[in-house]
Chain A
Amino acid sequence: MDRTTTEWNFSLNVRAGILTVVLLALFVGLWEGLNRAPILGGGGAELSEYEQLLAGADETARVPPPSEIAVRAWEQLSDPFYDAGPNDKGIGIQLGYSLFRVLTGYFAAALIAIPIGFLVGMSPLAYKALNPFIQVLRPISPLAWMPLALFIIRDAQASAIFVIFICSIWPMLLNTAFGVAGVRQDWVNVARTHELSPLKTAFQVILPAAAPTILTGMRISIGIAWLVIVAAEMLVGGTGIGYYVWNEWNNLDLTSVIFSILLIGVVGMLLDLGLGAVAKLVAYQE
């Protein structure tokens, strides 16, 4: 690669970065500007009687401006783990509950989905026998399971985990099956001509060959799980980032609502980045 190309790449990244910052500044600036509280009393004048009656509050509720959200974010993030009773816990604790549920349900799903996906991918019989179940169960909204889960499990925490489990299982199962079924016959033949046992073939040839596809399924699953946990926690209540959003809505604290929305986005991105890093480890070039 010659020098000009390197510089071009570099400047592309820099220019993209600048554009991002400009867009962000524009968006935040407009938001801030359009959401300023009206200057009461027409600029320094005496408050009207009506304004006095409202004690300085707006006539219509406003979406809080970014500056207020930044202040709230600073407050919350500087003490994320305080616990002042059931309805007042730090954002770190709430996120911790949500992550615990997501990861527990997700890994339980991986434990079931990957072996079954392997079976379905390897055996046409298993594929044909299980496919009707998969096709019917897959399109069900995970939240539709919630009443049944609450009835059977009789525990809100475990029901939320079950909902995560049920929504994570399908992308992992289908991608594993797809990846395993698509392993090139040449590579399977290499295992056969070297007299590898079925178990060794599975672990030394099929698993590494299908790993990138499996990881794609795992990435889709973690994304869905993180989407679903917010809704699930809004339903079951008690703890978690979903409950936090809903609770702050009930408190009419929109600043906290927006702050937590942003935080949900950031955590979701980090989860995906983590799995992306794992996917890079198992990727190979044909």
Chain B
Amino acid sequence: MSHAFVEVQQAAKRFPGANDGDDLTVFENVSFTLEKGEFVCIIGHSGCGKSTIMNALAGLDQFSDGAMIMEGKEIDGPSLERGVVFQNYSLLPWLSALQNVRFGVRARWKDWDDARVTQHSLSYLEMVGLKDVVDRKPAQLSGGMRQRVSIARAFATKPELLLLDEPFGALDALTRGVIQDELIKIWSKDRQTVFMITHDVDEAILLADRILLMTNGPEARIAEAVEIDLPRPRQRSEIVKHPHFYTIRNYLVDFLVSRSGALRTADLDRRGLHYPESVNPVERASTAADTPPATDGQPASAGTRSDTLVTFTPKETHHG
């Protein structure tokens, strides 16, 4: 069996219950894969454990159960191969923008001389449009600028896998749009593998190759993996005109609004390892009229899967 670039297998997170009560299970039986160069977003309501999954991949948190493998090696701690952009930017406030990026670059390439580290850091700061404010401290930068510095720091270290934890969650819509474009630009350059948490459906469609949908916690699961086959390069202004855009969007919104809470754990749990079913909302919409829904999904890239997987509610077919 060939391995995907990153595999998460049957991960679970439980917290001990109060007063000897039952454990609180945040999520369970979560398995998914990331292929090299893929941009994957994960969407779900608050409390479904997205951030725990992200932090575990970063090596900062641990699952109660399950395994994580990256390039055939188990993930058991933080690594420079997995760069993180945190929602709260996590810049070191006593360092300037340039020094913050240099901090990452220096940690990555210890044998580089200072001039090269500075040069490399500046080129990434320039890519996110911060060439003129490199000497400012984070406190002197706006929220959007800080997040750009954070993105520049993460991309400049060229990790194999980039983890973005709701990077635009704290930004206003206008700033968010501009930085999304910059993220696409900087990502197009190196085509790193990206795993990103977001709450924003439009953002996910704009950026992702695949979107993992999580059911509501506690006892959350990854319900399915939605394929976004809109052509690249994508642009915010153009993408909404694509005929498939609203089909995908409605499908995602419906999942978040109704199905994420309605899907029961029992429908998704099967024995053994399985990856979430791959769904293409566009194909689904075109075939929904005359084909039973359960057969129009695409098989996931790796692992075993059963064909009797997800039992969709009837309203499923209204979308698209």
At the interface, yes or no: A189 with Cβ under 8 Å from chain B?
Answer: yes
Interface residues of A in 190-208 (CB under 8 A from B): 190, 192-196, 204-205, 208
Chain B residues within an 8 Å CB radius of A9:
none
Closest to B90 in A: A186
Which residues of A sit under 8 angstroms from B92, Cβ to Cβ? 187, 190, 205, 208-209
Please measure, in the bound complex, the distance between the C-alpha atom of A2 and the C-alpha atom of B308, giving whole angstroms: 72
Contact of B104 among A187, A194, A284 (CB under 8 A): A194
Is A6 close to B, CB under 8 A? no
Given contacts A285-B139, A286-B139, contact A190 B93 (CB under 8 A): no
Known: A187-B90, A204-B103, A208-B94. A194 touches B60 (CB 8 A): no
Is there a chain A Cβ closer than 8 Å to B210's Cβ? no
Contacts of B104 in A (CB 8 A): 194
What residues of chain A lie closer than 8 Å to B79, measured between beta carbons?
A: 193, 195
B93 close to A189 (CB less than 8 A):
no
Q: Are A284 and B94 closer than 8 Å at their CB atoms? A: yes
Interface residue total, chain B, C-beta cutoff 8 A: 22
B137 touching A284 by the CB < 8 A rule?
A: yes
Q: Which residues of B contact A205 (CB under 8 A)?
A: 92
Q: How many angstroms between the C-alpha atoms of A286 and B84 in the bound complex?
A: 20
Given A186-B86, A186-B88, A208-B94, CB of A193 within 8 Å of CB of B59? yes
Taking a contact as CB atoms under 8 Å apart, the answer to whether A193 and B58 are in contact is: yes
Min CB distance, B171 to chain A, in Å?
Answer: 17
- Min CB distance A157 to B, Å, is 40
Q: Cβ of B107 < 8 Å from any Cβ of A?
A: yes
Mark each residue of chain B from 126 to 153: 1 if its CB lies under 8 Å from any CB of chain A, else 0: 0000000000010100000000000000
Instruction: Give the residues in chain A near B84, CB-CB below 8 Å.
Output: 189, 193
Provide 26 A-B residue pairs closer than 8 Å at the C-beta atoms, listed in order of the A residue.
Answer: A187-B90, A189-B58, A190-B92, A190-B103, A192-B59, A192-B60, A193-B58, A193-B60, A193-B78, A193-B80, A193-B83, A194-B80, A194-B103, A194-B104, A194-B108, A195-B78, A195-B80, A196-B107, A205-B92, A208-B94, A211-B94, A284-B93, A284-B94, A284-B139, A285-B93, A286-B139
Residues of B in contact with A (beta carbons under 8 Å apart): 58-60, 78-80, 82-84, 86, 88, 90, 92-94, 103-104, 107-108, 137, 139, 157
A interface residue numbers (CB < 8 A to B): 186-187, 189-190, 192-196, 204-205, 208-209, 211, 282, 284-286
